[in-house]
Amino acid sequence: MIPKDKHLHGIFAPLTTPFVDEEIAPDHLAENISHYNRFDLSGYVLLGSTGEAVYLDDDESVILVKAARDSIPSEKKLIVGTARESTRGTIRFTNRMARLGADAALIRSPGYFKSRLTPDALALYYERIADESNIPVIVYNIPVHTGYSLTTETVLRLAVHPNIIGLKDSSGNLGFVGEVLNEIPNNFAVLLGAASILLPGLMMGVSGAIITLSDVAPEHCLRLLRLFHDQMWEEARRLQLDLIPLNKAIIQTIGVAAVKYALDLTGFYGGPCRSPLPPLNKQEEDHMRRILEKLQLIEA
Amino acid sequence: MIPKDKHLHGIFAPLTTPFVDEEIAPDHLAENISHYNRFDLSGYVLLGSTGEAVYLDDDESVILVKAARDSIPSEKKLIVGTARESTRGTIRFTNRMARLGADAALIRSPGYFKSRLTPDALALYYERIADESNIPVIVYNIPVHTGYSLTTETVLRLAVHPNIIGLKDSSGNLGFVGEVLNEIPNNFAVLLGAASILLPGLMMGVSGAIITLSDVAPEHCLRLLRLFHDQMWEEARRLQLDLIPLNKAIIQTIGVAAVKYALDLTGFYGGPCRSPLPPLNKQEEDHMRRILEKLQLIEA
Amino acid sequence: MIPKDKHLHGIFAPLTTPFVDEEIAPDHLAENISHYNRFDLSGYVLLGSTGEAVYLDDDESVILVKAARDSIPSEKKLIVGTARESTRGTIRFTNRMARLGADAALIRSPGYFKSRLTPDALALYYERIADESNIPVIVYNIPVHTGYSLTTETVLRLAVHPNIIGLKDSSGNLGFVGEVLNEIPNNFAVLLGAASILLPGLMMGVSGAIITLSDVAPEHCLRLLRLFHDQMWEEARRLQLDLIPLNKAIIQTIGVAAVKYALDLTGFYGGPCRSPLPPLNKQEEDHMRRILEKLQLIEA
Amino acid sequence: MIPKDKHLHGIFAPLTTPFVDEEIAPDHLAENISHYNRFDLSGYVLLGSTGEAVYLDDDESVILVKAARDSIPSEKKLIVGTARESTRGTIRFTNRMARLGADAALIRSPGYFKSRLTPDALALYYERIADESNIPVIVYNIPVHTGYSLTTETVLRLAVHPNIIGLKDSSGNLGFVGEVLNEIPNNFAVLLGAASILLPGLMMGVSGAIITLSDVAPEHCLRLLRLFHDQMWEEARRLQLDLIPLNKAIIQTIGVAAVKYALDLTGFYGGPCRSPLPPLNKQEEDHMRRILEKLQLIEA
């Protein structure tokens, strides 16, 4: 559990879900985590988009979260993606994850009936969940998947709830992030979901980030954070720009399959995605290799 | 089961899921179906968007489909919405529904990772499912929920699969429907999902429709179909135009909650939607009453 | 001038603007029109999207409309696209075109500052123009270019203005067309802008169409209209479906350059588009030839 | 003229166009400029979106640019928006503005036939213009008006042209800006068009900004720039966040009419917008007053 007065800080890695022959492979997840534990990451997110959560059933989710919990030392946080489309479904799954030791729930706003989900309906959705959840809630704004953005007003209303501790924003819109930062109470954290703007986001006042880039390049992400704290602006700027091509490939152009491909090349277990996500073609593999070489994540 | 050489014809009603205190109420579902059985509908769709399927878990789905199967006479078809985001999840749930007696599976194209789902990936998704499904598959194109439209080429590729019997199109784009109708084999059915263009769609050559409007106004929908077959063009045109305001309210402006409100007023069980879907406000209730009065579905 | 109580009927061809070495070629325009005059088209639209109107300055527009007016017999209508973004600019240009003999003005709704153009602001725009225009006004809804659709309420408000005689709708959304047809006064015409749904649109009650398809296949379009009036449903349906691939190519896939390419192959003057519109590549030319052969517009 | 090896630096104000009774008022423009000349702005943009350029004809544009040129001291730059949809129209208008003394042309990418404007067609458009323009060209990416974003590849191709000196980006997408900054030659400037992310943009490496916010709050914008250069991070961050509500109102929520309303309250000439842009309602006026009071731009 994460008390509301203790901010979420630093870099959190949203982990991939390892599959072998389309079956979940919790042992590979545990191995990956023990590798990641060497880095100064603040914690992990299980069952996020990067984890192909929409392809997992509840029982698989339980097995994966158990395996993760056992592999994560107590000083690192375990955040779990628990969104279902219905309020009651989300509450039940959140509390199931709470019983397995999740420290907080990351909850994507519902999208299916979006034309009917007024700001008030969305706020009520989160408030009811936060009221009944046994772990703190992080609101998750991800327009590329839901088809709309939460409004500043909705976030500010939710920020005063005692069991809602933060916002993850993956809109890529720092203007929106700035509006939120301008008015939220001190005990409410804003985490960035877009690694291409990590440095600018830190500059604006976010307290940390949940970024897939840290799955592939954890040291680079952590170094960027340190450069920011040490006010090494020019080095920070240079590193931020250098990281953009890798981030673009794993988020925008190719997606999760590219993350897994990169993991396979860098000592982690990547493996295939579940169908219908296609594997990389030859051209995409070459593109990924060039990018990873340039960042010295693999040898040329 | 529906053999591929026997076309899907007529009007299918995509049923609502009755809830009492947010719990599913299969008895109310059975009652509703026995009311609907008086009409000359060709069958029913369970677990569609109108059925708030995204708010149901698998066990609830099983109970509802069992209750429905027991209430539906053999001459009417039971089609079940079985889409999951993953290929294997969809196959498993489809075959679970097959064992309960579903006649066909209506499968919405996956949307979550849409930027990676190339036409080829989408065709493979459906082909693999159709290969392993024990009941025939109907492809479902619904851009308002998935964020993209299937291409004509994808539909034509799927139309030759022996276990894919039809397409439901809810794009509202009759140009697309026409492109498909122009080239599909004779044993592939196109069903319309947009009641505002039912008459024009029939004119273009669709063989039937799965339309929420038939939940609330089954007699009107069936009369429109008869007028079309009897070539009573002016009456058909007049009725089509008269139905548009009701259809707009239950599909576009208010949604499923309006369907349920109308059911409650017309002798069916409607009841509340699951949270986070909000109920109608006073103004929306008045709007619905006026529309239903005008169509003589309720008394003024 | 077109009196409001005399409906706009039939097929209107929105003409291309001939260029030679990027200069306008009014003589080629006149030749094209004299060819088109052999067909039973109801009239022509100058300075529409198909006419690359956004690439023409005012003086060029004047020359082209003069040349057209001189070539059009009195029983055919000359409609001119006169939209500017500002109200006063549109009024001035409309009346300039009126002085040259335009029978009506086709006015696309403004798009540049669309987020500020409320339904009321849009209605006021058209009302003020219609008040001051010396020729009747046709409202033009074309979401693909403006980025939004007019609402039914706006159209109904405008339909009662004495100098607004009709709507051209290129949304492709027959549900919207149906809503409008359901409530407009008798003396207000709805013209379709989407040839792929011409037959369904006629079925719904539109009185005619302004369709680029009639530039390339005027006889086919007129035959479809006659088949509809003669209630030859199966032939009409077959012809409608046959026309969809050509229409898709000239509207959606390739655009104006494909129209001009087809004109060059069928005895009209097509010529190049103005830059930056690119010419067809080899593959697009082959595609166009195959389509035209299939419709017997050129020999195989 | 601005040589390519001398970067565009600092803050440029995109000026409003004063109207009196819907006629342009060049005297008010000259007055406004003489007020602005007191500030350390790097220059002005005439005939941009903020200048309601789409509502002006060519002759009005000439009068306004003449009036501006006479009022601007030589050390400040005069940039003029010269985009037309056609290549030749843009070249002609650009060179007309060059003859009036414009230092550079800001050219929005064409939008009308966007589905046909491939990256190659867009690059050719700019290259041909830059070849023939007598003043340097600044490429302008503004998806909210054009409906699409330029790609990084297109910008990088254009950046090596000797007569293309920079990019103005109003996408609000700092990830895109970062991609561009990562690879452009040293003599190519990137100017930000989104004031809500000015500080983050400077951090990423943009050399300046063209922001409507500087029309209303020039001192605040310039102070933010100084704080950045002086590495006063916390003050800079605080000021950036404070400016977001004003920027949101004048860009997103209300638009140009809000800029003019604020000018009228702060000693400039604002006046009305041209129709169809509606004036502020009472609620919007109150909102603007509160925002301006908070920033001490007007007295409470």
A248: annotated active-site residue = no
Q: Indicate the SS3 state at residue A63.
A: helix
Residue A127 has pLDDT above 70, yes or no: yes
| Structure token digits, residue D153 | 């590849």
Contact A194, A217 (CB under 8 A): no
Question: Given this model, what pLDDT does residue B5 score?
Answer: 66
pLDDT class of A4 with cuts at 50, 70, 90: confident
CB–CB of B175 and C247 under 8 A? yes
Check if D257 contacts C (Cβ < 8 Å). Answer: yes
For residue range A220-263, list pLDDT tens digits in order. 999 999 999 999 999 999 999 999 999 999 999 999 999 999 99
Taking CA atoms, C190 is separated from C90, C156, C165, C213, in Å, by: 22, 12, 9, 18
Nearest-5° Cα angle at B73, B71 to B74: 135
| Structure token digits, residue B220 | 């009107």
For residue range B243-269, list pLDDT tens digits in order. 999 999 999 999 999 999 999 999 999
Q: What is the DSSP string of B47-114?
A: SSTTTTGGG--HHHHHHHHHHHHHHS-TTSEEEEE---SSHHHHHHHHHHHHHTT-SEEEEEPP-TTG
Q: C78: which residues sit within 8 A by CB, 6+ positions away? A: C43, C44, C46, C65, C68, C69, C72, C101, C102, C103
Q: D38: which residues sit within 8 A by CB, 6+ positions away? A: none
d(CA A56, CA B89): 8
Q: What is the DSSP string of C266-291?
A: TTS---PPPTTSPPP-HHHHHHHHHH
Residue D7 has pLDDT above 80, yes or no: no
Catalytic residue among C76, C77, C168, C260: C168
Please give the positions of B annotated as active site.
168
d(CA A219, CA A179): 30
Partner residue opposite C196 with nearest CB, options B178, B197, B231: B178
Average pLDDT over residues D221-232: 97
Chain B residues inside the 8 Å CB shell of C205: 237, 241
DSSP C72: S
Taking CA atoms, A121 is separated from A218, C184, D198, in Å, by: 38, 36, 34
Question: Given this model, what pLDDT does residue C1 score?
Answer: 64
Question: Given this model, what pLDDT does residue A243 score?
Answer: 98
Residue A99 has pLDDT above 80, yes or no: yes
Contact C109, C139 (CB under 8 A): yes
- All residue ranges of chain B with pLDDT < 70 are 1, 5-7
| Structure token digits, residue B269 | 């069980």
Taking CA atoms, D130 is separated from A31, A149, A282, D133, in Å, by: 56, 39, 38, 5
Check if A234 contacts D (Cβ < 8 Å). Answer: no
CB–CB of D125 and C254 under 8 A? no
Partner residue opposite D88 with nearest CB, options C86, C275, C278: C275
Interface test with A, best of D206, D232, D244 (most A CBs within 10 A): D244
d(CA B264, CA B216): 10
Q: What is the pTM of this model?
A: 0.96
Residues in chain A: 300
Question: Given this model, what pLDDT does residue B213 score?
Answer: 98
Check contact D-B (3+ Cβ pairs < 8 Å).
no
Q: A283: which residues sit within 8 A by CB, 6+ positions away? A: none
C-beta neighbour count of D226 within 10 angstroms:
12
Picking from D240, A171, D275, the residue whose alpha carbon sits closest to that of residue C84 is D275
Q: How far is B178 from chain A (nearest CA, A)?
A: 28
Question: Given this model, what pLDDT does residue C3 score?
Answer: 75
Contact B153, B119 (CB under 8 A): yes
C-beta neighbour count of D187 within 10 angstroms:
15
Distance of CA B297 to the CA centre of its chain: 21
DSSP B272: P
Nearest-5° Cα angle at C56, C50 to C61: 90
User: Look-up: residue for tokens 């070249």?
Assistant: D91
Note the ipTM here: 0.95
| Structure token digits, residue A210 | 């949940």
d(CA B177, CA B168): 10
Q: Indicate the SS3 state at residue D32.
A: helix
Check contact A-C (3+ Cβ pairs < 8 Å).
no
What's chain B's average pLDDT?
96
pLDDT tens, residue order, chain C (300 aa)? 677 766 699 999 999 999 999 999 999 999 999 999 999 999 999 999 999 999 999 999 999 999 999 999 999 999 999 999 999 999 999 999 999 999 999 999 999 999 999 999 999 999 999 999 999 999 999 999 999 999 999 999 999 999 999 999 999 999 999 999 999 999 999 999 999 999 999 999 999 999 999 999 999 999 999 999 999 999 999 999 999 999 999 999 999 999 999 999 999 999 999 999 999 999 999 999 999 999 999 998
Check if D237 contacts A (Cβ < 8 Å). Answer: yes
Strands (E), A21-136: 23-24, 43-46, 77-81, 104-108
Residues in chain D: 300
Residue A6 has pLDDT above 70, yes or no: no
CB–CB of C200 and B196 under 8 A? no
Question: Given this model, what pLDDT does residue D183 score?
Answer: 93
Chains touching C (3+ CB pairs < 8 Å):
B, D
Q: Indicate the SS3 state at residue C103.
A: coil
d(CA C109, CA C142): 8
Question: Given this model, what pLDDT does residue D5 score?
Answer: 65
Torsion, Cα C158 C161 C167 C171, to 10 degrees, reads -10
Contact D159, D136 (CB under 8 A): no
The H or E element that residue B291 is part of is helix B282-294
pLDDT class of D300 with cuts at 50, 70, 90: confident
Interface test with D, best of A171, A183, A196, A250 (most D CBs within 10 A): A196
Q: Chain D: residue nearest A180 by CA?
A: D241
User: Look-up: residue for tokens 């006015």?
Assistant: C107
Check if D121 contacts C (Cβ < 8 Å). Answer: yes
Contact B158, B139 (CB under 8 A): yes
Q: For the purposes of burial, counting CB atoms within 10 Å of the CB of B229, is it exposed (0-12), middle (13-18) or buried (19 or more)?
A: exposed
Please provide residue A258's backbone torsions phi and psi, each rounded to the nearest 5 degrees.
Answer: -70, -35
Contact A46, A245 (CB under 8 A): no
| Structure token digits, residue A194 | 């877009």
pLDDT class of D4 with cuts at 50, 70, 90: confident
Picking from C133, C131, C109, the residue whose alpha carbon sits closest to that of residue C119 is C109
Check if C245 contacts B (Cβ < 8 Å). Answer: yes
* Residue D74, phi-psi category: left (phi > 0), alpha (psi -120 to 50), beta (remainder): alpha
Chain B residues inside the 8 Å CB shell of A121: 276-278
Q: Indicate the SS3 state at residue A139.
A: strand
CB–CB of B174 and C197 under 8 A? yes
d(CA B269, CA B25): 10
Q: For the stretch A151-160, what's the b/e string if a residue is b when 16 or more beta carbons lie within 10 angstroms of its beta carbon?
A: bbebbbbbbe
Q: Chain B: residue nearest A122 by CA?
A: B276
Residue D1 has pLDDT above 90, yes or no: no
User: Percent of chain B at pLDDT above 70?
Assistant: 99
Check contact D-C (3+ Cβ pairs < 8 Å).
yes
Picking from A113, A91, A50, the residue whose alpha carbon sits closest to that of residue A247 is A50
| Structure token digits, residue D296 | 């001490």
- A10-235: CATH superfamily: Aldolase class I (3.20.20.70)
Question: Given this model, what pLDDT does residue A89 score?
Answer: 98
Q: Chain D: residue nearest A172 by CA?
A: D173
Contact C14, C24 (CB under 8 A): no
